[in-house]
Amino acid sequence: MPSFLTRATAAVDRQVLRFMERRMRSDAPPPMRDARARLLELAERYGTDTLGHPSRFFPEPPPAEVHEHAVAEGTIDLTFPSTYVPFVRTYLDEHERWRENLTVHARLWTRGPGRPVIVVLHGWGGGAYWLEERAFVAPYWQKHGFDVVAVQLPFHGARAPRNATDSGLARSGALFPSPHLVRTNEGFGQAIHDLRALSAWLRRRGAPAIGAMGMSLGAYTTALWTTIEKLDFAIGMIPMVSMSDLMWRHGERSPTHRRAVAAGVTAELLHDVMAVHAPTTRKPLVAADRLMVVGGKGDRVTPPDHAEKLRAHWGECAIHWFPGGHLAQVGRGDAFRAVRRHLDAIHIPGRAETHS
């Protein structure tokens, strides 16, 4: 039965991949005769004094001016201006043009002050609070001693620009990540900038500990975050560890890929351009016993080898495998229970010693 489920969920993922490839292709920049020279220039700009600790690409953000809006008892919507300034200044005009993306949106589920917080980070195309509350089983974590904050990543949810398409309709994730490499790089810079500002605000508000749990794109962002800030714990679910690898691997049969190869673009060059935000570029600042990876054996969107690579980079940390895939996450209940047992085994300030 497990092998059958793995094959079935893998088939679902292949359909999802075809859909993702079509959406990514619609945002591909026009082909350039000097594409290789342009990418070499970007690799140098993004790679100068940015790949270690500290990194010029990830400056510390100023204190966030967070506005709180009570939605219901124990549910608070948070908004604050994103003060991120693009690293590549020529992108500044485009960055400021996407007005909706200049405000950070998050939702906090809380049962009172003094509790540790799990920041949950959604996958590509996600961000709707009703969905993320269920995807990350927020009530389960509240029951077991945590408050939960769902953050909308750049260009997702309420941050998706209304004028991004001819129809004027917002499409969560349509612009990030994408083949527009500068926007993609700057999007990850903005994501970490905003998360650090939110984290600092949560600590000022009284959170004794802050950890992160992300799925897919959110797991990539979580893993990147661990290399910039010393979180109290981090969980990477169905993770990717190399955006360039997935773009190259999943797009290898596309016309865009063939044109890129003809222009002299290689997988190695694409990796160099995007290394500035790759989670494996820097060592994590979080101890291995506070890290955990959850992988899907049937995952064909972020394949199992990415989970293995993240585990190795995270010091051979704990790992749990479920039989399902990226979208049809068969076995996710057992996965969340495994994460809870892992968190039970480490000391997290402010968390009750016993749970229901």
Mean pLDDT value across residues 27-54:
83
> What mean pLDDT value characterizes the chain?
87
% of the chain surpassing 70 pLDDT: 84
Residue 217 has pLDDT above 90, yes or no: yes
Identify the band that residue 352 occupies on the pLDDT scale cut at 50, 70 and 90: confident
Residue 16 has pLDDT above 80, yes or no: no
Per-residue three-class SS string for the chain: CHHHHHHHHHHHHHHHHHHHHHHHHHCCCCCCCCHHHHHHHHHHHHHCCCCCCCCCCCCCCCCCCCEEEEEECCEEEEEEECCCCCCCHHHHHHHHHCHHHHEEEEEEECCCCCCCEEEEECCCCCCCHHHHHHHCCHHHHHHCCCEEEEECCCCCHHHCCCCCCCCCCCCCCCCCCCCCHHHHHHHHHHHHHHHHHHHHHHHHHCCCCEEEEEECHHHHHHHHHHCCCCCCEEEEECCCCCHHHHHHHHCCCCHHHHHHHHCCCCHHHHHHHHHHHCCCCCCCCCCHHHEEEEEECCCCCCCHHHHHHHHHHCCCCEEEEECCCCCCCCCHHHHHHHHHHHHHCCCCCCCCCCCC
How do residues 306-343 score in pLDDT, each as one tens digit?
A: 999 999 999 999 999 998 877 666 668 899 999 999 99
Mean pLDDT value across residues 287-308:
91
Res 257: pLDDT: 67
Mean pLDDT value across residues 54-81:
97
pTM of the model: 0.89
Res 227: pLDDT: 98
Mean pLDDT value across residues 69-76:
97
Res 35: pLDDT: 82
Residue 109 has pLDDT above 60, yes or no: yes
Of 3.40.50.1820, 3.90.1150.10, 3.40.50.2300, 3.40.50.720, the CATH number of 2-344 is: 3.40.50.1820
Higher pLDDT, 356 or 29: 29
How do residues 122-172 score in pLDDT, each as one tens digit?
A: 999 899 999 999 999 999 999 999 999 999 999 999 999 986 554 445 588
Mean pLDDT value across residues 210-230:
97
Domains in the chain: boundaries? 2-344
